[in-house]
Structure 1
Amino acid sequence: MKCDAAEQANAGVLIIGIGNPLRGDDGAAVAVVMALQGEADLAGVTCVLAQQLMPEHAAAASEATCLLIVDASVEHAPGEVCCRAVRASESGGTLFGHHLTPEQLLRLTEAAFGRVPAAMVVSVGAAEFALGVGLSPAVAHGVTEAVHLARAQLAAWLDDGVCHV
C-alpha cells in the first residue's frame, strides 16, 4: 500500500480512545476519536478504540513517536476538558492487571520494548455512566472542546515532526 507524504509524516502518531459508548458519558472519548478519524490532515494517524487500557496496547505504543490518550474522567466536572502530559510511572501497582493507567502503560511499554513515546492525555469530565447510548449535554459540549484541544495538540506534533509534551 502506498502512503502519501502526509500519511508517512503522521505514521508515528497513535490515538487511543478509552470508553464504552453504551455507558452514557463513558462514550466521550469514542466521540472525540470518531470526530478526529475523518479529518484529512490526520491521514496516517492510527486510531484505536478500547474500553480500557490493556497490556496489549504496549506494542502499538512502542511503535509510536507520539501517543494521545482520550478518556472520560470522574475527576473533573461534567464537560470540563483537561490535557496533561504523562510519563512512565516508576511505581503504582502491577503491570499485568486487566487494565492500566496511562502511566502504567508507558512503564510497561518501556520495560517490554525499550522505548516510550511522548504522551498526552485529554480527559472529558463525565458523570452519567448508566446503561444507554448518548452523552449528557455538558459532556457533549465537552467533547466538542476536546476535539479542538486534541486537534491543536496533534497539529503541534505534526507541524514540526517532534512530539513535545
Structure 2
Amino acid sequence: MKKTVLVIGYGNDLRSDDGIGQRIANEVASWRLPSVESLAVHQLTPDLADSLASVDLAIFIDACLPVHGFDVKVQSLFAAGDIDSNVHTGDPRSLLGLTKAIYGNCPTAWWVTVPGVNFEIGDRFSRTAETGKAIALVKIIQILDKVKNLWFDVGAVA
C-alpha cells in the first residue's frame, strides 16, 4: 500500500502574515514530491474531510500570534472527541474529528504554527513571518524524512 501525505496550509492571504500557511503549502507543492499533495486554502472546511480520510499523514500549517516567543511550533494532533459544528473556523482537531466520525478513521497529523506580527489588510509578510516560513519548511522536510524512513523500515520488515 502506498503511503500518502496531505499538507494543508491555511489562512487569509489578504491579511498579511495570516497568509503564511498558504504560502508554505504552495512552496511544498512546488517540490513535486511523490505521494505528497499540498493544498493552500483560505480556511478549514468540512469538505476537506474527504481528502483527509484517504491519506496516512496530514500536516496543517497556520499563522499564530507569538504568545510565548517567536518559535515555529510543531505539535502532534489528535482528532477532537466531539465534533465542533464550527469546523470552518480553522481548528484542525475538529476537522480530524469530523473525518473520523464520517469515514471511521483519520490520518496521523501534525500542526505547524508560524508566528506572525502583522495581520492587517495587505499581501506582504513581516520579517518574523518570512523567517518563520524558512524554519517551518525545514521542519516539514524533517517530518517528511522521518515518516519516509519509518514507512521504509516498516515496509522492509513486512
User: Which TM class, normalised by the smaller chain length?
Assistant: 0.7 to 0.9
Offset at residue 79 of structure 1 (A): 4.7
TM-score between both structures, scaled by the size of structure 2 = 0.86
| Alignment deviations for residues 25-52 of structure 1 (CA, whole Å, 9 cap, x no partner) | 0111122122222225x23311111111
Offset at residue 127 of structure 1 (A): 2.2
| Alignment partner, residue 140 of structure 1 | 130
**Amino acid of the structure 2 residue aligned with 1:87:** F
SS of residue in 2 equivalent to 1:122: strand
For 1:22 and 1:99, locate their aligned partners in 2 and report how far apart those are by CA, in whole Å: 17
Percentage of pairs with the same residue = 26
**Amino acid of the structure 2 residue aligned with 1:132:** G
Kindly tell me the number of residue pairs found equivalent between the two proteins.
152
Pairing 1:1-165 to 2, within 5 Å after superposition: 9=2, 12-40=4-32, 42-74=33-65, 76=67, 79-91=70-82, 94-95=84-85, 97-161=87-151
Question: Structure 1 residues 76, 106: CA separation in 2 closer, same or farther (over 3 Å shift)?
Answer: same
Question: Structure 1 residues 76, 35: CA separation in 2 closer, same or farther (over 3 Å shift)?
Answer: farther
Q: RMSD over aligned Cα, in angstroms? A: 2.1
Question: Structure 1 residues 33, 97: CA separation in 2 closer, same or farther (over 3 Å shift)?
Answer: closer
SS of residue in 2 equivalent to 1:161: helix
Structure 1 stretches of 4+ moved >6 Å: none
Unaligned runs of 5+ in 1: 1-7
For 1:72 and 1:21, locate their aligned partners in 2 and report how far apart those are by CA, in whole Å: 11
